[in-house]
Homo-oligomer: A and B are copies of this chain.
Amino acid sequence: MTRPRSGLLPPIHLQLQGEPAHRQICDWLRGAITDGRLRPGQGVPSSRALAVELGISRTTVMTAFEQLQAEGYLESVVGAGTRIAAVIPDDVLDAIDTTRGGHGTQRAPRAISTRSRTLLAMPQDSQPQSVGAFRACIPALDRFPHATWSALLRRHARHASPALMAYGDPMGHRPLRDALAGHLGAVRAARCDASQIMITAGAQQALQLCARVLLDPGDAIWMEEPGYPGAQRAFTVAGARLVPVPVDQHGLDIEEGLRREAHPRAVYVTPSHQYPMGAIMNAARRTQLLAAATRAGSWIIEDDYDSEYRFAGRPIASLQGLDTDERVIYVGTFSKVLFPALRVGYLVLPRDLVAPFRAARDAADLFPSTLLQAALADFLREGHFARHIGRMRMLYKQRCAALVRALRMQIGERFEIVNAEAGLHLVALLPPALDDGAISRRLAGFDIAVGPLSYCCLQTPPRRGLILGYGSSSESQLEGAVARLAAVLAATT
């Protein structure tokens, strides 16, 4: 129910439910002043008169008037009551008048940055939040040990000390960094201690920080072609010049890279499991890359996004562990081993980069949320992490085999399957006539999230293909999705 009112002031409809009356009066008077219906110097009724007229208590009106005086909209004049403050200059009000409704030619520019416009022009993932079959880079979310994780969170949330609730270290929570240093040394053959580890909000933030600390606008960076679109975006927004360098079955083609740009400021590389093609960078390329970086004074950004899941043998040793010149910045993530919405990743930094990364992190978002880090440190220390990885490796091996089997049976030789030996996805190369983007769009209608290979390319791709994730889908889901894919292919050609 509302209570209409008219008189000297513009009309007000006081809502009897919801907002307190004094707030409604404030908003009403403030609006009438700023839109020019009440002019500077104009008197307003006394609080007593207004209270009577609106049928509310005088205290309510006085509360509103006091607030508006504090904000400078009203002023009290001794002997003359309350009036609209004279301090709002008329020319200001006139300026507001001319812009009102002025979304046409009169409108002042609404400029955004050049890098922001470049970013908007880049291809965007059409189904970023899909959890449908084939979605790449998503682990088996229903196999995550929720009860264990929830208990660890509770342990830290119920009794957080003031020190853990206030401002934390930009490098991250020390117990988690200690646990990670041990893990990386043992499993990734990394050479580091906790002082070199920075906890980030996922690998994407790690890449963004690399871009900021290492690259000036216009600086060249080698990018794998095809490569990871998230990395392309991170370096683009920093204003870097992206130099596509082809990958083959042994990873990044170093000699071709040197021909295209002999002195890159940095090299972005996924040596343990190239994204998306799956190649392992061999020992020759690794040493070639390290030597080339040392000669050219380049940094190497090693993105080790899912190396935990190699189905035969242990994970490939990291490039970071081979680096004797402290050129490699190692990027890791918990998105593939735990779950993406956790948003925790990490960097292993050369010692002389710790101070600049710390300063950049402080300027970017101060430090990471403490609770998740504290629970995660216990998750690692108490062995849950290693156990979960072990279980998931077996599961993904089975799912990968099931997907390959279904593709062979239902689609046969039209697909060339590459590197189905590790990780959470494989790539199926298409015959030349087929358009990966069109197939991806058709399947999206069935909640099937196939990534087109061409979406990973900075240049026109020599081959088109489909990125098929198997981490988060059961064997029967994979078989059903392959059947749908086969039907779409049959309809396309």
Chain A residues engaging chain B, CB cutoff 8 angstroms = 19, 22-23, 26-27, 30, 33-35, 63, 66-67, 70-73, 85, 87-89, 92-93, 95-96, 99-100, 102, 108-117, 119-120, 124, 128-129, 131, 135, 138, 141-142, 144, 146-147, 149-150, 153-154, 157-160, 162-170, 186, 189, 200-202, 204-205, 208, 212-217, 219, 230, 233-234, 236-237, 239, 250, 265, 280, 282-288, 290-291, 294-297, 312-314, 316-317, 322, 324-325, 339-344, 352-353, 355-356, 359-360, 362-372, 472
Q: Is the CB of A166 within 8 A of B339?
A: yes
Q: A142-B162, A167-B341, A205-B365 are in contact. Are A359 and B120 (CB under 8 A)?
A: yes
| Docked CA distance A149–B365 (Å) | 23
- Smallest CB gap from A120: residue in B: B359
Q: Is the CB of A363 within 8 A of B208?
A: yes
Q: Determine how close the nearest CB of chain B comes to the CB of A53; give it in whole angstroms.
A: 23
Among candidates B73, B167, B189, B317, residue contacting A128 with C-beta atoms closer than 8 Å = B167
Q: A153-B157, A265-B111 are in contact. Are A340 and B167 (CB under 8 A)?
A: yes
Q: A213-B116, A284-B87, A355-B120 are in contact. Are A146 and B158 (CB under 8 A)?
A: yes
Q: A162-B472, A366-B202 are in contact. Are A150 and B157 (CB under 8 A)?
A: yes
- Smallest CB gap from A160: residue in B: B146
Q: Is the CB of A287 within 8 A of B92?
A: yes
23 A-B contact pairs sorted by A residue (CB < 8 Å):
A34-B324, A35-B324, A66-B312, A72-B284, A87-B283, A89-B288, A92-B288, A96-B294, A96-B324, A112-B213, A113-B213, A116-B213, A119-B359, A129-B163, A146-B158, A149-B157, A154-B154, A165-B340, A201-B201, A204-B366, A205-B365, A208-B363, A233-B363
- Smallest CB gap from A144: residue in B: B165
Neighbouring B residues of A114 by C-beta, 8 Å: 216
Q: Is the CB of A124 within 8 A of B359?
A: yes
Q: Determine how close the nearest CB of chain B comes to the CB of A18; give it in whole angstroms.
A: 8
- Smallest CB gap from A155: residue in B: B150
Q: Determine how close the nearest CB of chain B comes to the CB of A307; give it in whole angstroms.
A: 12
Q: A30-B189, A70-B280, A115-B212 are in contact. Are A99 and B366 (CB under 8 A)?
A: no
Q: Determine how close the nearest CB of chain B comes to the CB of A174; give it in whole angstroms.
A: 11
Q: Is the CB of B112 within 8 A of A30?
A: no
| Docked CA distance A439–B115 (Å) | 43
Neighbouring B residues of A212 by C-beta, 8 Å: 113, 115-116, 237
- Smallest CB gap from A87: residue in B: B284
Q: Determine how close the nearest CB of chain B comes to the CB of A128; give it in whole angstroms.
A: 6
Q: Determine how close the nearest CB of chain B comes to the CB of A387; give it in whole angstroms.
A: 16
> Considering residues A165, A189, A325, which has the most beta carbons from chain B within 10 angstroms of its beta carbon?
A165
Q: Determine how close the nearest CB of chain B comes to the CB of A392; give it in whole angstroms.
A: 14
Q: Is the CB of B138 within 8 A of A167?
A: yes
Q: Is the CB of A369 within 8 A of B366?
A: no
Q: Is the CB of A343 within 8 A of B369?
A: yes
> Considering residues A112, A288, A340, which has the most beta carbons from chain B within 10 angstroms of its beta carbon?
A112
Q: Is the CB of A237 within 8 A of B108?
A: no
Q: A316-B70, A341-B166 are in contact. Are A19 and B186 (CB under 8 A)?
A: yes
| Docked CA distance A73–B142 (Å) | 38
| Docked CA distance A314–B341 (Å) | 37
Q: Is the CB of B95 within 8 A of A294?
A: yes
| Docked CA distance A72–B109 (Å) | 58
Among candidates B30, B87, B296, residue contacting A317 with C-beta atoms closer than 8 Å = B30
Q: Is the CB of A340 within 8 A of B166?
A: yes
Neighbouring B residues of A230 by C-beta, 8 Å: 363, 366
- Smallest CB gap from A115: residue in B: B212
Q: Is the CB of A108 within 8 A of B297?
A: yes
| Docked CA distance A389–B234 (Å) | 38
| Docked CA distance A365–B287 (Å) | 31
Neighbouring B residues of A142 by C-beta, 8 Å: 162
Neighbouring B residues of A135 by C-beta, 8 Å: 166
The 10 closest A-B pairs by CB, nearest first: A72-B282, A108-B297, A72-B283, A95-B291, A87-B284, A109-B297, A205-B365, A341-B370, A233-B363, A150-B157
Q: Is the CB of A325 within 8 A of B282?
A: no
Q: A96-B290, A166-B129 are in contact. Are A322 and B359 (CB under 8 A)?
A: no
Among candidates B108, B115, B214, B285, residue contacting A296 with C-beta atoms closer than 8 Å = B108
| Docked CA distance A343–B129 (Å) | 23
| Docked CA distance A462–B13 (Å) | 49
Q: Is the CB of B204 within 8 A of A353?
A: no
Q: Determine how close the nearest CB of chain B comes to the CB of A429; give it in whole angstroms.
A: 22
Q: Determine how close the nearest CB of chain B comes to the CB of A24; give it in whole angstroms.
A: 11
Q: Is the CB of B162 within 8 A of A141?
A: yes
